[in-house]
Amino acid sequence: MQTIELIKSAIQSLKANKKRSFLTIIGIMIGIAAVIAILGIGDGITKTMYDKFGNNAKQGQQTTEIVYNPDNVNSTVNGFTQEQVADINTQFGGEIKKAEIEQESDNLSTHADIGDATKSVTLSLLKKPTHTVKLIAGHNFSKRTFELGEANVLMSEKVAKRQYSSAQNALGTTVTINNVTYKVTGVYKTQAQFTDDGNQNSYGVDLLLPKKVYYQGDSVKEGNTLKLTFSQGVNASAISRRVAKYLKNNSSAATQGIYQYLDMEKALKQFSSQMSIITTFISFIAAISLFIAGIGVMNMMYISVSERTQEIGIRLAVGATPFNIMMQFLVEAVILTMTGGLLGFLGGAGLAHLLAPLLSSAIGGGGIHIHAHISLNAFLLAFGTSAAVGLIFGILPARQAANKNLIDILR
């Protein structure tokens, strides 16, 4: 009962100075919100990377990837064919559950039949209509194109002029890629790009087409990424290295590139460690604002003690102990900071969920969609930290109030 009375009394005292209490709460809220937002985004990035690249242990299996990197970045040679996949399944059948070609990149090189010629082209696969290109002829993709899986394609001005002499002549023609025929519905202005050596490459991306339609064809019969699936418990890393070595010694594509096993678990552990360091450092900087807010709490409580000297004297006169007085002011400080902690947690969680999609867009997609991850630990951290700030910065003013002498007050 005494605890409830203390809380009620503390709330009434804080309500008596609403503006001062509000400004102090704002300081705590900003500090907590900054820390929660940083932790939420950092944990979200780490969780997203593990979900995308980590081993799938939930389904009782492990997955790894072997990547083929051609020596020439403009090469259209694919490192994996269905024949090679069948060979790997035969050679390592007792150790690998399944080997399959995976093509997740939205930008790739391949061959296409344009007009009466077969050309090496670069493709960009789209999940939805794009507004980043400037059309000079025809029309852009519509939502209907993606919903119904219409086999339409947008052609670059460079390709249109080279094959058909003008953009208008290219409209209505067809492009065949992996046995799927696409109709040219628009021509866009070629975007200037820069190669790794700094030279300008005005060719850009040759064709834009719906990703859904592309993968309905025979496109996954060849590719540069091989996904291996293992039963849980086997040494997936060792087997994957042996597969990469086997491909190096037996694949014809090995003379034009290199087969490389990506140890994603090791890379993810390093990434997680680096993210923890970065998150801790930024959180430390954000915690400085909490320290400053704590000074504000202390200042407010000292002012409150000074203004309520008569109240303290009356309470001492009617039998309150110095401990009762100290607890009253200490509870006020803790309620003040925990209110700021609650609002800061909600604000930080909201900010993290707001910034996560923007961060996904900023890094350019690639199948990576970051979602903020607010854990129970973050919730406990917000309340624990805010309560600690109230205790640490409220104890001195509370002790000053408790040490006031009744005789001095009456004088």
pLDDT per position as a tens digit, 6-29: 777 777 877 778 888 888 899 899
Same domain, 192 and 318: no
Average pLDDT over residues 238-249: 87
Domain boundary among 209, 234, 262: 262
Res 196: pLDDT: 37
Same domain, 349 and 235: no
Structural domain including 304 reads: 2-53+266-410
CA-nearest of 284, 226, 182 to 69 is 226
Res 71: pLDDT: 76
Same domain, 21 and 109: no
Choice between 350 and 68, residue whose per-residue pLDDT is larger: 350
Same domain, 34 and 91: no
Check whether 197 has a pLDDT greater than 60.
no
Same domain, 254 and 326: no
Same domain, 96 and 202: yes
Domain boundary among 262, 296, 313: 262
Residues above pLDDT 90, as percent of the chain: 16
Res 202: pLDDT: 35
Alpha-helical segments (H) within 258-365: 264-307, 309-317, 322-362
Cβ neighbourhood burial of 364 (10 Å; 0-12, 13-18, 19+) = exposed
363 pLDDT band, cuts 50/70/90, is low
Same domain, 307 and 386: yes
- What the block records as the tokens of 387 is 């309560």
Res 109: pLDDT: 75
Same domain, 140 and 222: yes
Domain boundary among 262, 295, 320: 262
Residues forming beta bridges with residue 209, ordered by sequence position: 125
Q: CB atoms < 10 A from the CB of 313, how many?
A: 17
Same domain, 155 and 245: yes
Total of domains in the chain: 2
CA-nearest of 232, 363, 272 to 49 is 272
Same domain, 38 and 160: no
Same domain, 220 and 331: no
Same domain, 195 and 283: no
